[in-house]
């Protein structure tokens, strides 16, 4: 008797939790329906651009699934070998879980003929078989959305690609950055890492690397089925859940003014610290040089990571990245004279200034790298949008180079060192 009562209670709780994801209170099960389900952005960075799957009679087929617990996950991720999975799950459970994450859930019923639905179902079933479900992921070319796009294109006998390829659009970088609206830091980091391929203009076909774009094109796309009947691929949107998150913006942040301020501040601060590095006040001396060491470490480590990714990994999205040159990791060797200044804090001013000059000579490589990046972009050899980082690196690399050191010696050497 107790077991029966407990079973009834648990069943009621399950029904209640599944019913909670519909604004009308009616549970969405996806039974006897073939539809696209688009899930809005979530909290983690990898979920900023949303998710997508196809529901067939209550089974949710989706891609781009991974587990941090997979063998060698972090090593494979670092090397650009992203092994992701196709899965088949319960549609009600997926939608219920998604709503608990406060994410949009939109359903787009698909208008398929008998033959087209059969092709779609066979393709999806093939994808989720144990021997086929594991695949190499690419952020823009082979993600959770592009596989759904490709399956729909196969079901419509290639007509979706033919239709969407006639819509010229912006670039991968544009949509990568607008998707990063929740975090300015992540947008700056992503903008720094993305290379030349992400600045090539795309078409509607490539734009469908984003889940919502698949649904948008499916609603305006009309195809001819195997019986000769013209059909609109998807019906109007059915909103299952509305998130409280702000919508994805139509344009990305304007970064260059803030980057310019950061570059000017860092470069001027570097020269001020160079002047006070002869100070006999231990706190001023230690604090100032610690700040410079941190600046070199932050920029140099990012440059080292970018150079490693470009040279030794399969991360195609960083290819030909001209941001490497002004942040070239040789700048990390400037830590040597900076540490020697620490060790020789009681030495003469002349010896410390020699070490300052050595650090400036090393950092001149980065100023030359900045000039090279500008040349590559303005000459048209590279089309990368790196203007925000020019705003940072132009003043910073100039002021930390031998040119900045010469200006300090000529115009600022008589400033008091005891600041």
In the predicted model, is pLDDT for residue 227 greater than 50?
yes
Q: Do 229 and 271 reside in the same domain of the chain?
A: no
Q: Which of 52, 46, 98 is nearest to 216 (CA)?
A: 52
In the predicted model, is pLDDT for residue 357 greater than 50?
yes
Residue-level pLDDT at 293: 93
Q: Which of 386, 396, 401, 360 is nearest to 265 (CA)?
A: 396
Q: Do 46 and 185 reside in the same domain of the chain?
A: yes
Q: Do 211 and 319 reside in the same domain of the chain?
A: no
Q: Which of 322, 404, 323, 310 is nearest to 360 (CA)?
A: 404
Confirm whether 232 is domain-assigned: yes
pTM: 0.86
Q: Do 68 and 204 reside in the same domain of the chain?
A: yes
Q: Tell me which of 19-23, 84-88, 129-133 is least confident.
A: 19-23
Q: Tell me which of 2-11, 218-227, 298-307 is least confident.
A: 2-11
- 107-118: pLDDT as tens digits: 999 999 999 999
In the predicted model, is pLDDT for residue 174 greater than 90?
yes
Average pLDDT taken over every residue of the chain: 88
Q: How many Cβ atoms sit within 10 Å of the Cβ of residue 114?
A: 10
Cβ atoms of 277 and 289 closer than 8 Å: yes
Confirm whether 372 is domain-assigned: yes
In the predicted model, is pLDDT for residue 5 greater than 60?
no
Q: Which band of pLDDT confidence, cut at 50, 70 and 90, is reported for residue 157?
A: very high
Where a domain ends, among 241, 272, 291? 241
Distances (CA, A) of 292 to 299, 339, 353, 354, 400: 11, 10, 15, 17, 10
Q: Which band of pLDDT confidence, cut at 50, 70 and 90, is reported for residue 373?
A: very high
Q: Do 205 and 338 reside in the same domain of the chain?
A: no
Q: Tell me which of 58-67, 249-258, 408-417 is least confident.
A: 408-417
- Could you give the number of structural domains in the chain? 2
Question: What's the rounded mean pLDDT across residues 193-212?
Answer: 97
Strands 59-65 and 51-56: antiparallel
Q: Which band of pLDDT confidence, cut at 50, 70 and 90, is reported for residue 259?
A: very high
Q: Do 231 and 274 reside in the same domain of the chain?
A: no
The three-state secondary structure class of 383 is coil
Q: Do 266 and 237 reside in the same domain of the chain?
A: no
Q: Do 231 and 261 reside in the same domain of the chain?
A: no
Q: Which helix (H) or strand (E) holds 109?
A: strand 105-109
- 275-297: pLDDT as tens digits: 877 655 566 677 888 899 999 99
Q: Do 86 and 206 reside in the same domain of the chain?
A: yes
Q: Do 170 and 309 reside in the same domain of the chain?
A: no
Confirm whether 63 is domain-assigned: yes
Distances (CA, A) of 312 to 183, 304, 306, 308, 316: 28, 12, 10, 6, 11
Q: Edge-to-edge strand order for the sheet containing 59-65?
A: 134-136, 83-90, 59-65, 51-56, 34-39, 105-109, 238-241
Alpha-carbon span 188 to 389, nearest angstrom: 9
Residue-level pLDDT at 108: 98
**Chain CA centroid to CA 391, Å:** 21
Q: Which tokens belong to 128?
A: 């989720």
Residue-level pLDDT at 343: 72
- 98-109: pLDDT as tens digits: 999 999 999 999
Cβ atoms of 392 and 263 closer than 8 Å: yes
Where a domain ends, among 241, 270, 303? 241
The three-state secondary structure class of 88 is strand
**Quick one: what percent of the chain has pLDDT higher than 90?**
74
In the predicted model, is pLDDT for residue 175 greater than 70?
yes
Residue ranges making up the domain that contains 136: 2-241
Q: Do 236 and 304 reside in the same domain of the chain?
A: no
Where a domain ends, among 216, 241, 266? 241
Q: Do 300 and 197 reside in the same domain of the chain?
A: no
Residue-level pLDDT at 417: 46
């Amino acid at each position: 008797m107790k077991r029966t009562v407990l079973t009834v209670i648990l069943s009621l709780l399950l029904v209640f939790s599944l019913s909670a994801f519909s604004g009308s209170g009616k549970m969405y099960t996806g039974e006897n329906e073939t539809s696209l389900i688009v899930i809005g952005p979530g909290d983690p960075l990898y979920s900023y651009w949303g998710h997508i799957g196809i529901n067939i009679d209550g089974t949710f087929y989706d891609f781009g699934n991974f587990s941090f617990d997979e063998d060698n996950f972090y090593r494979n991720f670092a090397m650009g070998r992203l092994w992701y999975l196709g899965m088949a799950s319960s549609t009600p459970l997926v939608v219920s879980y998604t709503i608990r994450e406060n994410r949009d859930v939109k359903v787009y019923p698909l208008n398929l003929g008998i033959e087209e639905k059969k092709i779609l179902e066979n393709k999806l079933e093939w994808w989720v078989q144990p021997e086929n479900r594991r695949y190499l992921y690419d952020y823009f070319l082979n993600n959770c959305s592009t596989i759904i796009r490709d399956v729909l294109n196969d079901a419509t006998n290639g007509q979706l690609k033919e239709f969407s390829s006639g819509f010229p659009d912006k670039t991968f970088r544009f949509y990568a950055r607008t998707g990063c609206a929740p975090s300015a830091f992540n947008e700056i980091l992503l903008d720094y890492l993305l290379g030349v391929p992400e600045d090539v203009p795309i078409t509607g076909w490539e734009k469908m690397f984003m889940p919502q774009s698949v649904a948008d094109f499916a609603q305006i796309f009309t195809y001819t089925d195997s019986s000769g009947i013209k059909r609109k691929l998807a019906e109007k949107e059915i909103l299952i859940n509305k998130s409280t998150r702000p919508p994805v913006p139509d344009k990305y942040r304007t970064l260059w003014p803030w980057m310019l301020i950061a570059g000017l501040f860092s470069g001027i601060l570097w020269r001020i610290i160079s002047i006070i590095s002869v100070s006999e006040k231990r706190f001023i001396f230690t604090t100032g040089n610690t700040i410079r060491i941190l600046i070199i470490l932050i920029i140099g480590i990012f440059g080292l990571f970018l150079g490693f990714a470009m040279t030794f990994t399969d991360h195609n999205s960083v290819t030909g990245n001209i941001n490497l040159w002004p942040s070239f990791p040789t700048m990390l060797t400037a830590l040597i004279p900076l540490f020697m200044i620490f060790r020789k804090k009681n030495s003469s001013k002349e010896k410390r200034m020699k070490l300052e000059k050595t650090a400036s000579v090393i950092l001149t490589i980065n100023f030359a790298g900045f000039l090279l990046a500008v040349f590559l972009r303005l000459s048209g050899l590279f089309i990368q949008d790196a203007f925000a980082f020019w705003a940072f690196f132009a003043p910073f690399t100039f002021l930390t180079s031998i040119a900045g050191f010469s200006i300090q010696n000529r115009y600022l050497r008589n400033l008091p060192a005891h600041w």
